[in-house]
Chain A
Amino acid sequence: MKRLSAILALLFVSGCATPVTHIDTNNDKGKAVMGLDYRDFQTAAGEAVSSMLQSGAVAKPGGGRYVLAISRIVNDTMQRIDTDQLVKKIRVDLLQSGKVVVTTAVGLTGPEDPMAMKSRQLRQSAEFNQSTVAGTGQMIAPDLSLSGKLLQRNIRVSGGTQQVEYYFQLTLTDISTGLALWEGESFIGKRGSSKSVSW
C-alpha cells in the first residue's frame, strides 16, 4: 500500500512539474516578457552594429582597423543588468567585421584584462627569456570610444495596462577630436498587465 502511494505521489509530482526545455534561439516562440530578455539585447546589438557599418563610421580612411576602447555604459533601468550583455555582442561583431579591434588594456576603471600590464613586470625576472617579454612602446592607444546608456520608462496606459519603454543609446567618439562619429538609439516597447513586473 505504501509503495502504491509512493508511486502515485511520484506520478502526481512529475505530472505537475513544467518540463525543462532548451530555448530555440533561432525560432523562439516564447511569449515576450515585460523585462529585458536575450531577444531584446540581440535586437539592440544587431541594430547598433548594422547602423555602425552602414554609416561608414568604423571604416578607417586608407584601410586598417580602428582601436576601440569601451567607455561607460550606464544602466539606468530598473533592472539588474550587466551591460556586457549588450556590449559583448557588439564587440564580437565589430571585431569580426575586420574594421575594429578592441583594446582590453584601457578602461575607465582600469584595464579589462590587467595581464597585459602585469606581464610587463617580468622584465625584472631572470627566470624569463627577456626576448619573449613584451617590450616598451608596443601597446596601441585607442582611436575610438564606445559609451552609452540604457533607459527605462514605465507608463500606466489604463487601469490594468502598463507600457514599458526601453531605450538603448550608444555613442562612438573619436578620441583625438572628442567628436561623436556615430550615434544610435534602439527602442523596445512592451505593453502588458500592470501586474507584470519590469525589474
Chain B
Amino acid sequence: MIKKSPLLVLLLFLFLGGCGSSKLHDRRASIIDGSIRGKIVLLELSSLISSEGLMSVQVTGKNTTDKYRLLEYRMEWFDMDGMLVPTVMTRWVKFPAFEKSNFSFKTVAPRVPVKDFRVIIRKAQ
C-alpha cells in the first residue's frame, strides 16, 4: 500500500493536470463575474516588450457556450515598485465573444516603466 501511494499521487497529478491544461491559471488575469465563470475560459496570456520599451499584453480566451456574449475587461498597470499607474486606458472596454469561438484582445502599457498588470473580465454591464 505504501509503495502504491507515489504511483497513485502521480496518476492523480497527471489526471488533474490533463483536465486543467487548457485553462489558464495566472494571478494576473481573472473572471470576476460568477455568471460566466466556466462558460468563458481564459486560455493564454502573452506579454512582450516592444522596441520602444512599452509592454503589450494579449489575452486569449474561449466562449464555450453556444450564445454570443458581450464582455468587458479592465486592465490595470503597475510600475516597477508595484504602484498603480493611473491612465485613461484603465477603463471597462467592451469586446465580443462569439459562440463556441476563441476571442482575443490586445492592449498596451501607458508608459515605459510598467512592469506588471492585472486584467479582470466580466459580462458587459
Q: Which residue of the partner chain, among A43, A50, A89, A98, contacts B107 with CB atoms under 8 Å?
A: A50
A107: B residues at CB distance < 8 A: none
User: Is A141 interfacial (CB-CB < 8 Å)?
Assistant: no
User: Is B89 interfacial (CB-CB < 8 Å)?
Assistant: yes
Query: Cα distance A43–B92 when bound, in Å?
Result: 9
- Nearest CB to that of A29 among chain B residues? B125
Given A46-B93, A93-B110, A96-B110, are A54 and B56 also a contact pair (CB < 8 Å)? Answer: yes
B51-83 contact mask (Cβ, 8 Å, vs A): 1 or 0: 110101000000000000000000000000000
Q: Which residue of the partner chain, among B54, B86, B93, contacts A53 with CB atoms under 8 Å?
A: B54
Given A93-B110, A96-B111, A97-B111, are A56 and B89 also a contact pair (CB < 8 Å)? Answer: no
Q: Which residue of the partner chain, among A50, A59, A96, contacts B52 with CB atoms under 8 Å?
A: A59
Query: Cα distance A53–B55 when bound, in Å?
Result: 10
User: Is A116 interfacial (CB-CB < 8 Å)?
Assistant: no
A65-77 contact mask (Cβ, 8 Å, vs B): 1 or 0: 0000000000000
Query: Cα distance A43–B95 when bound, in Å?
Result: 13
Q: In chain A between 47 and 85, which residues have their CB closer than 8 angstroms to a CB of chain B? A: 49-50, 53-54, 56, 59
User: Which of B86, B88, B92 has its CB near the most chain A CB atoms (within 10 A)?
Assistant: B88
B54: A residues at CB distance < 8 A: 53
Given A50-B107, A56-B50, are A96 and B87 also a contact pair (CB < 8 Å)? Answer: yes
Chain A interface: which size bin? 20 to 34
B88: A residues at CB distance < 8 A: 42, 45-46, 49, 89-90, 92-93
Query: Cα distance A45–B91 when bound, in Å?
Result: 11
A126 to chain B, nearest CB (A): 45
Query: Cα distance A137–B95 when bound, in Å?
Result: 49
B50 to chain A, nearest CB (A): 7
* A interface, CB within 8 angstroms of B: 27, 29, 42-43, 45-46, 49-50, 53-54, 56, 59, 89-90, 92-93, 96-99
**A-B pairs with beta carbons under 8 Å apart, 24 shown:** A27-B92, A27-B125, A29-B125, A42-B88, A42-B91, A43-B91, A43-B93, A45-B88, A46-B88, A46-B93, A49-B87, A49-B88, A53-B108, A53-B109, A53-B110, A54-B56, A90-B88, A93-B89, A93-B110, A96-B85, A96-B87, A96-B110, A97-B112, A98-B112
Given contacts A42-B88, A92-B88, A96-B87, 5 further A-B contacts (CB under 8 A): A27-B125, A90-B88, A93-B110, A96-B111, A98-B111
